């Protein structure tokens, strides 16, 4: 029997995350100790009150059936969270949809809305699921360059009118991944007017909403006037409450878009495990002091890594947000060469920037998912690696 993948599958490359993991395992088999700064999977535990709620809830054997959708308490908790954190009012019945993590919703949204031949504006660099979801739906990707000279914001005026006439959706993410930039109110207002003019659905990935540093403003796209008319916003408990393995998130905003995605999901899944939903409710309605402590920890990790890299002569800009550092690599390598040599020779795993789009070439993404002591050691290994390279050349 010979099987060939579908044309849609053939448009997708194998996950770079898996390739980096494989190279890490190969290095470890050879005796190399590897500090893994690749995947953005939080190493910190969820808040103790979330763990306690989950442990108690799983004892109720009547709650092991299908949930089908988000329980009412979950939707109400999302509304509470949005009101408290972003001063946004959300209708729990029509403007909230529970997801099995935000990636689940992002993966399925394009299939719910996009027809073959319709354009989707996608950031470059951008998180891989954005592009993959459009390929699955049969849509056409139009990349929006995110350039340092434009604060990593897309220049909407440079998109051709003939493309915009066939565009149905635009994906944005601020705070961004992999580019750790922030959007502001002025930019979001521009996006809303743009979307109204061309009848485009704005999809804002807000998964790093609570990891914003140095007292920079925290702005939900939904908090800007007119956003609900043209857009939706994805969020997750994975990074905010370190519940990545629980696979629970949500999307809020435009009622029509929420309904279309809900209809699609009703055909493919049976809801999130009830005890996980209860734990999520507990998290979303907490006093949020935990979030402040977590931000301070990530700020400290960021500063530790960047100051360590500076000793090697590698000057890296400070991330304004997220659990990542987006670092322009020294000259002499491609992104993949640099990342793979770091694993093999320095024992540090990072993700090459070109995995996130053509304009990611020349960068690597470094995840702050190890304690500061490990990040300091990683910086020392990188310093030695760069020094040996300089000597050998």
Is the bond preceding 125 in cis, omega lying within 30 degrees of 0?
yes
The reported pLDDT for the residue numbered 390 is 63
CA distance 336 to 363: 9
Over residues 18-29, the mean pLDDT reads 91
Contact 307, 83 (CB under 8 A): no
Over residues 270-289, the mean pLDDT reads 96
pLDDT tens, residue by residue, 80-95: 999 999 999 999 999 9
Contact 203, 169 (CB under 8 A): yes
Q: Is residue 120 helix, strand or coil?
A: strand
> Which residues, in sequence order, are CB contacts of 296 under 8 Å at separation 6+?
none
CA distance 381 to 388: 11
The reported pLDDT for the residue numbered 14 is 63
CA 232 vs CA 20, 63, 133: distances in Å: 32, 31, 16
Does residue 12 have a pLDDT over 80?
A: no
CA distance 220 to 214: 17
Does residue 332 have a pLDDT over 70?
A: yes
- Lookup: tokens for 326: 């987006």
CA distance 13 to 42: 25
Over residues 185-202, the mean pLDDT reads 98
Task: Report the half-sphere exposure of 36 (CA within 13 A, side-chain side).
Answer: 15
CA distance 301 to 372: 5
Does residue 13 have a pLDDT over 80?
A: no
Contact 308, 375 (CB under 8 A): yes
Does residue 130 have a pLDDT over 70?
A: yes
Contacts 24+ apart (CB under 8 A), 304-310: 304/372, 304/375, 304/376, 304/379, 305/366, 305/368, 305/375, 305/376, 305/378, 305/379, 307/379, 308/375, 308/376, 308/378, 308/379, 308/380, 308/382, 308/383, 309/379, 309/382, 309/383
> Percentage of the chain with pLDDT > 70?
98
Yes or no: domain 62-284 corresponds to CATH 3.40.1160.10 = no
What is the assigned CATH class of domain 7-45+289-392? Answer: alpha beta
The reported pLDDT for the residue numbered 133 is 96
Over residues 33-55, the mean pLDDT reads 96
Contact 123, 176 (CB under 8 A): yes
The reported pLDDT for the residue numbered 9 is 79
Label residue 392 by pLDDT band (50, 70, 90): low
Q: Is residue 240 helix, strand or coil?
A: coil
Which of residues 5 and 300 earns the better pLDDT score? Answer: 300
The reported pLDDT for the residue numbered 103 is 93
Domain spans in the chain, listed from the N-terminal domain onward? 7-45+289-392, 62-284
User: Dihedral of CA 85/86/91/94: which sign?
Assistant: negative
Q: Around Cβ 270, how many Cβ atoms within 10 Å?
A: 12
The reported pLDDT for the residue numbered 160 is 97
> Percentage of the chain with pLDDT > 90?
91
Over residues 291-306, the mean pLDDT reads 97
Does residue 113 have a pLDDT over 70?
A: yes
Does residue 391 have a pLDDT over 70?
A: no
150 secondary structure, DSSP code? G
Q: Longest C-alpha distance within the chain, in Å?
A: 67
* Average pLDDT in the chain: 95
**How many residues in total does the chain contain?**
393
CA distance 105 to 114: 14
Of the listed ranges 254-258, 286-290, 295-299, 303-307, the least confidently predicted one is: 286-290
Over residues 101-124, the mean pLDDT reads 96
pLDDT tens, residue by residue, 156-190: 999 999 999 999 999 999 999 999 999 999 999 99
């Amino acid at each position: 029997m010979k099987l060939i993948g579908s044309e849609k599958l053939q448009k997708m490359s194998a996950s770079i995350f898996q390739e980096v993991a494989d190279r890490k395992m190969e290095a470890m088999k050879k005796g190399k100790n590897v500090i893994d700064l690749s995947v953005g999977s939080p190493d910190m535990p969820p808040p103790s009150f979330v763990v306690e709620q989950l442990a108690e809830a799983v004892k109720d054997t009547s709650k092991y059936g299908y949930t089908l959708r988000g329980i009412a308490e979950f939707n109400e908790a999302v509304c509470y969270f949005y009101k408290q954190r972003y001063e946004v009012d959300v209708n729990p019945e029509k403007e909230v949809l529970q997801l099995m993590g935000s990636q689940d919703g992002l993966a399925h949204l394009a299939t719910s809305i996009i027809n073959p031949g319709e354009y989707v504006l996608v950031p470059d660099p951008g998180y891989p699921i954005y592009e993959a979801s459009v390929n699955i739906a049969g849509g056409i990707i139009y990349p929006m360059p995110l350039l340092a000279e434009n604060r990593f914001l897309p220049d909407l005026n440079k998109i051709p009118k003939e493309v915009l006439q066939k565009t149905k959706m635009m994906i944005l993410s601020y705070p961004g991944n992999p580019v750790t930039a922030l959007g502001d109110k002025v930019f979001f207002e521009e996006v809303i007017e743009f979307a109204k003019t061309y009848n485009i659905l704005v999809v804002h990935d807000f998964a790093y909403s609570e990891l914003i540093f140095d007292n920079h403003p925290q702005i939900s796209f939904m908090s800007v006037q007119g956003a609900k008319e043209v857009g939706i916003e994805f969020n997750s408990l994975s990074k905010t409450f370190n519940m990545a393995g629980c696979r629970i998130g949500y999307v809020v905003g435009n009622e029509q878009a929420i309904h279309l995605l809900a209809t699609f999901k009703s055909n493919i899944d049976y809801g999130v495990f009830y005890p996980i939903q209860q734990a999520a409710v507990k998290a979303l309605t907490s006093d949020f002091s935990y979030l402040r402590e977590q931000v301070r920890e990530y700020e400290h990790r960021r500063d530790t890594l960047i100051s360590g890299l500076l000793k090697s002569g590698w000057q890296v800009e400070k991330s304004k947000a997220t659990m990542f550092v987006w670092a322009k690599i020294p000259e002499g390598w491609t992104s993949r060469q640099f990342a793979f040599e770091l694993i093999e020779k320095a024992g540090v795993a990072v993700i090459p920037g070109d995995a996130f789009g053509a304009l990611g070439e020349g960068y690597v993404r470094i995840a702050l998912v190890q304690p500061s002591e490990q990040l300091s050691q990683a910086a020392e290994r990188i310093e030695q690696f760069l020094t040996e390279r300089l000597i050998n050349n």
